[in-house]
Structure 1
Amino acid sequence: MDSLSKALELTHVSEEDPKIPDDVWEQFARDTERDIRGSAPKEPSARAREVTERLRRQEARGELPEGWRTGPARQQKKSRRGLWGVLGVAVAVVVAVVAVKPSLVPGDPFGGGGSEDAVSSPLPAETAAPTAAPSAEASQIPTLDDPFAGSPAKRWADGAAGIAVPKAKAVGGRSAAETEQVLELTRKLLIESNLDPGTLRGERPEAALDVLDPLQKDVHGLLETALSKPDKTHDPLWMFSRFDPDEVRLVGDVVKTRGRMTFKAGDHASVAVHADYTFVYPVVQTNGSTEVTRTIIRRVLDVEISDPAKYQVTPGKLTVVNWDQDINNSACDVYDGYLHPDFRSSGPTGAAPTGPTTDPYDRSETLDPNREEGCGTVSRV
């Protein structure tokens, strides 16, 4: 049984692992005992002892031909087959254990596709509205080393790589080159407003403002007031993602991004661009705490560039037609121009949420412009 014991020791099943049923173990014990008995040496009979003695005397007198002992050599070979038969039973038990719990074998030998690499592989670009929210992730606490742990955004693109520009073509009486210009300006506005490190630190988003048409005075006036004297009716967070640098900082330099950009002919001899993107910001407090949380913002933006020969616009600048945003995991009813993420260890920063519970990662529904006002509760961050 020593060889059998060593073979079984190759795979250890802890008390938490699934057990082999008792009747299987009993059958295995009976079969093993039978195989060992069958392969063990047996006491020779009286007739066999007599023949052996006669052959020994003949050998002593030189009456037997050379090589007669090849018979015992074959017997030795048979004994080895008996040993491998016992080991084969042990291997069968190991295979049975692995069948019950494949995770005992390192790696992914059966190609089950359940490896961490497969789970965390990047998603393909979003080309149409999803039909449902991302599936639930395994519960994990985000850390400084893995700030997107437990979040669907872990498989999203990093930063500007997630803002793809579709192939341009002529529309609305504008050439493909003019269409491409509008698309690239829209991309720049999204990057400068939501990903630029200075903007995220609360600095003035000069590059983003420079993309907007200065002749659209209502938009420029609102944003200038919001940046200098923010309040409930002049909130820079409507366009820009900004954190108070004295309160929080970004974990690492990656913001996860997912969304899509489309275009069509506009109503004012223009190319109209629709952008719909979600940004996920992992942050930590600046007080020395290592607790990581995430703020998730979905932004919907409609912009266009009209024909300057027909409309009073600035060539090469964007006109804002509409904007909307859904800000999640930030203080309610705080209008100081900054995002204030909630941390479990410190509790809510602003007023208690009053709106409905939503999934901030769900991009399958459009943002309803008539949706209920108020700060809601998120189902996950």
Structure 2
Amino acid sequence: MSDRRSEDSSGDEPSSSSIPDEVWEQFIRDSERDIRKSAPKEPSARAREVAQRLKREKGEPEGWRTGPAWQETNGRAARRRKAWALIGVPLAIAVAVVAMRPSLIPGDPFGSSSGTDRATSPLPAETAAPTAPPSAVAAGTPTLAHPFAGSPALRWADGAAGIVLPKATALGPIPKDRVELALQQTKKLLVEANLDPEVVVGAHPDAALSVLDPKQPGLLDELNTALRSPSKTHDPLSLFSRFDPEHLKLAGKVIKIRGRITFAKGKFEGVAVHADYTFVYPLVRNDGSTEVARTIVRRVIDTELPDPTHYQVTPGKLTLVSYNEDAGNSACDINDGYFHPQFSSQAPTGSASPTGPAVDPYDRSRALGKGQEGCGSVSRT
């Protein structure tokens, strides 16, 4: 602005309402300094008064710095800044999360999961017998980083979390707490016999044996004989999952599991428990190879916690009524007390060749052992 004074139209001396030069120049300097230092701020009451007097004298339109138009513009800018703040902060958080976990975006837009276990939601717990085998899954080669790639077990539960006990209820005169004890002891037997990492690589299953009744005729003697001197007639694999530690180890720390457990009143005035579970073991050789093979073991066991007031039993210990197993991808006719998975890069081991049609070891809808006679083969691992 070059015109710093206000004069009337006649060119006479300044009117009584004129502003002295030094006041006006100080005002201009202060205003320009404030503008340079920060975003526009609402002028002080003194500044508004001076500006209004200038406009009245020079006829300037409203809206220059102090008028309603500037205030409205400043208000809209503030609202825009506030809106962007509300949107920008959550957006920045979302971008950071996706950067760390790109698999959270549906459809894998970056192709980051190619050749790996794709992020999938776990299956709900099994509550009834399946009526069909698991659907086919995308092909994949198991690796040390992704040992369940290409397997239906990818969506199965990890380890003991897959043994979901039903809610215990009283069975007539049998109280709820005895039902709960029978369920917990059966779960312990399953976990210690099939999921303990030391037992899986050959250790003696002391914890599993501890839940069984020592008064059950011949049971513990038979199992200990099988563990000590395995043979075709005394096979520890009928109850315990074991692999030869000289040649094999688990590929990672996860064993996948799926199945169900139920209870009812038993034959011995106690609680009968029925368990049907499939375990999937990823394994790698100890020779430095990174090739992963999977062995699938299905077990069906029946236990009972008899009434100690009617039978000569050890209170709190399980009677093992029956136990059966079916293994997929394990060499035939090797009776050394270990499962022997077949690796695709190696020639088959064992003395017997597979016979009969291939069966799906993941098919939990078929009866145990049905469709596989003698040394059978599997359709997938």
Note whether the superposition's TM-score is higher than 0.5: yes
Q: C-alpha displacement at 1:255, in angstroms? A: 0.1
- Structure 1 gaps of 5+ residues are 1-105, 110-114
Q: Secondary structure at the match of 1:323?
A: strand
Contact 1:173 1:270 in 2 (8 A): no
- CA distance 1:353–1:306, shift in 2 (3 Å): same
Task: Please give the alpha-carbon distance, in whole angstroms, between the structure 2 residues aligned to 1:371 and 1:145.
Answer: 34
CA positional deviation for 1:373: 4.1
1:371, 1:214 → 2: CA distance? 36
Residue equivalent to 1:154: 154
Match of 1:50 in 2: none
Distance in 1 (alpha carbons) for counterparts of 2:118 and 2:250: 27
Q: Work out whether 1:352 is the aligned partner of 2:356.
A: no
The answer for the alignment partner of 1:362 in structure 2 is 363
- Residue 365 of structure 1, CA deviation: 2.1
Distance 1:172 1:216, change over 3 A: farther
Number of the residue aligned with 2:279: 279
Letter in 2 for 1:367: L
Distance 1:223 1:347 in 2: 32
Structure 2 residue aligned with 1:128: 128
Q: Which residue of 2 aligns with 1:96?
A: none
- Residue 184 of structure 1 is matched in structure 2 by 184
For residues 186-229 of structure 1, give each alpha carbon's deviation from its aligned partner in whole angstroms, at most 9, with x where no partner exists. 00000000000111110100000011000113221210110111
Aligned partner of 1:251 in structure 2 is: 251
Q: Which residue of 1 aligns with 2:58?
A: none
1:133-158: CA deviations, max 9, x gaps? Answer: 11111111101100000000000000
Cα distance in 1 between the residues matched to 2:269 and 2:233: 32
Distance 1:283 1:353 in 2: 21
- The residue that corresponds to 1:94 in the other structure is none
* Residue type of the alignment partner of 1:181: L
8 Å Cα contact 1:127/1:260 also seen in 2: yes
Task: Give the corresponding residue for 1:240.
Answer: 240
Q: What do the CA deviations read for 1:18-66 (whole angstroms, capped 9, x no partner)? A: xxxxxxxxxxxxxxxxxxxxxxxxxxxxxxxxxxxxxxxxxxxxxxxxx
Work out the percentage of aligned pairs sharing the same amino acid.
60
* Structure 1 counterpart of 2:355, one-letter code: T
- Counterpart of 2:283, as a letter, is V
The structural deviation recorded for 1:329 is: 0.5
Aligned residues of 1:160 and 1:191 also touching (Cα < 8 A) = yes
Query: Alignment length, in residue pairs?
Result: 272
Distance 1:372 1:329, change over 3 A: closer
Give the 3 Å change call, closer, same or farther, for CA 323–108 of structure 1 in structure 2.
closer
Matching residue of 1:41: none
Q: What is the correspondence of 1:51-200 to structure 2 with a 5 Å cutoff?
A: 108=106, 120-171=120-171, 173-200=173-200
Hey, what's the Cα distance between the residues in 1 that align with 2:349 and 2:214? 36
> Any stretches of 5+ residues in structure 2 without a counterpart?
1-103, 108-112
Query: Cα gap change, 1:219/1:372 in structure 2, threshold over 3 Å: closer, same or farther?
Result: farther
Counterpart of 1:374 in structure 2 is 374
Say whether residues 1:206 and 2:194 are aligned partners.
no
Moved over 3 A (4+): 106-109, 115-119, 370-373
- Deviation of 1:107 after TM superposition, in Å, equals 5.2
> Are the equivalent residues in 2 in contact too, given 1:172–1:266 (CA < 8 A)?
no
SS at match of 1:262: strand
Q: Secondary structure of the residue that 1:143 maps to in structure 2?
A: coil
Deviation at 1:159? 0.2
Change (3 A) 1:358 1:174: same
Question: What is the CA-CA distance between 1:355 and the residue it aligns to?
Answer: 4.2
Change (3 A) 1:355 1:318: farther
